[in-house]
């Protein structure tokens, strides 16, 4: 059974831990505000850009781009996994691992090569998958140029025919307390026939383009792909900060609860010790009377 001295040490240690987790929570909250602002401001642009390319490429006659070409005979694929370099962020990394393992199980015909941004998921699955490159940012947050370089490295293998598909796995940000691990196809671009038909019915006419539809699409199509990867990295970053903030908040609350329990236990032991001393004093006084 712990004595009062041991309990004091545990309380002091827990208070120190609480200071650390509270500080980490504040740091994550500040980083989240910046990351959340970036991803929420980028999404409207990304959505409109992708929608524009869908419409123009569908109604432009005889337009073709290498990013639209599907090679059903090529089972090689790249998977870019975006995770964190540090832990203490709840289930942020483990839920990506679950999605990746599920995808591997459901697609046994694919010869997958995994590339990583962040090392935590790599550490968890490296022994069971084919590991490719690990990309590192110059600073903590990715720049558009850095992500462009990563995206172009993966698309070069697609363009050369080395791989038939490119996927990206990451946590999609919804709020500080809600993010979802997703694994989606980045290349080739695919549009369901039903959606293609709907677009053609919605736009039974053609537009006038300057310089030309082909030149515009040749510029915009690669940009949509790069923007898909960039959006994924910003989603992942905001999700990481959000989940770390929540995890540190929970840790701080647990520390507070532990401090209360230990303090109550220490006070009970102290009270019992005082009561024992009083009984001994009273008993001694009574024995002297007798």
CATH for 274: 1.10.287.80
> CATH no. for residue 56?
3.40.1380.10
CA count, 13 A, side-chain hemisphere, 227? 18
| Tokens standing for residue 197 | 């038909």
In a domain, 190, yes or no: yes
> Beta 178-187 vs 111-117: how paired, if at all?
unpaired
CA 199 to chain centre: 33
User: In Å, how far are 28, 42, 46, 52, 104 from 56, measured between CA atoms?
Assistant: 41, 21, 16, 6, 34
| Tokens standing for residue 200 | 């053609």
User: Are residues 130 and 214 located together in one domain of the fold?
Assistant: yes
User: Are residues 221 and 199 located together in one domain of the fold?
Assistant: yes
User: Are residues 94 and 137 located together in one domain of the fold?
Assistant: yes
User: Are residues 127 and 202 located together in one domain of the fold?
Assistant: yes
User: Are residues 237 and 261 located together in one domain of the fold?
Assistant: no
Number of structural domains (the chain) is: 2
In a domain, 290, yes or no: no
User: Are residues 207 and 115 located together in one domain of the fold?
Assistant: yes
- Note the pLDDT tens digit of each residue in 176-185: 889 999 999 9
User: Are residues 225 and 269 located together in one domain of the fold?
Assistant: no
Residue ranges making up the domain that contains 13: 4-23+248-284
User: Are residues 73 and 38 located together in one domain of the fold?
Assistant: yes
- pLDDT band, residue 196 (cuts 50/70/90): confident
Residue 1: pLDDT over 70? no
User: Are residues 9 and 140 located together in one domain of the fold?
Assistant: no
Out of 11-15, 54-58, 204-208, pick the least confident: 204-208
- Note the pLDDT tens digit of each residue in 68-84: 888 888 999 999 999 99
In a domain, 76, yes or no: yes
Residue 157: pLDDT over 80? yes
User: Are residues 92 and 229 located together in one domain of the fold?
Assistant: yes
Q: Return the bridge partners of 178, or none.
A: 175
Q: CA-to-CA distance for 145 and 227, rounded, in angstroms?
A: 11
Sign of CA dihedral 247, 84, 28, 228: negative
User: Are residues 66 and 208 located together in one domain of the fold?
Assistant: yes
User: Are residues 191 and 229 located together in one domain of the fold?
Assistant: yes
């Amino acid at each position: 059974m712990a004595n009062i001295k041991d309990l004091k040490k545990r309380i002091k240690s827990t208070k120190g831990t609480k200071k650390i987790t509270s500080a980490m929570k504040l740091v994550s909250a500040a980083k989240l505000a910046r990351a959340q602002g970036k991803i929420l401001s980028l999404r409207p642009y990304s959505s409109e850009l992708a929608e524009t390319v869908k419409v123009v490429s569908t109604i432009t006659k005889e337009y073709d781009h290498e990013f639209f070409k599907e090679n059903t005979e090529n089972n090689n694929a790249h998977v870019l996994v975006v995770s964190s370099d540090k832990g203490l962020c709840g289930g942020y990394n483990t839920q990506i691992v679950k999605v990746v393992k599920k995808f591997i199980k459901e697609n046994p015909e694919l010869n997958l090569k995994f590339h990583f941004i962040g090392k935590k998921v790599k550490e968890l699955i490296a022994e069971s998958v084919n590991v490719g490159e690990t990309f590192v940012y110059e600073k903590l947050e990715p720049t558009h140029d850095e992500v462009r370089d990563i995206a172009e490295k993966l698309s070069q293998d697609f363009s050369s025919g080395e791989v038939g598909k490119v996927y990206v796995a990451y946590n999609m940000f919804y709020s500080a307390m809600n993010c979802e691990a997703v694994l989606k196809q980045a290349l080739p671009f695919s549009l369901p026939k039903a959606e293609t038909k709907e677009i053609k019915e919605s736009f039974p006419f053609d537009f006038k383009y300057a310089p030309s539809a082909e030149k515009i699409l040749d510029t915009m199509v690669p940009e949509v792909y790069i923007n898909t990867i960039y959006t994924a990295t910003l989603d992942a970053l905001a999700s990481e900060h959000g989940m770390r903030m929540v995890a540190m908040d929970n840790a701080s609350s647990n520390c507070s609860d532990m401090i209360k329990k230990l303090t109550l236990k220490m006070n009970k032991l102290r009270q019992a010790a005082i009561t024992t001393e009083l009984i001994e004093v009273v008993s001694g006084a009574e024995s002297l009377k007798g």
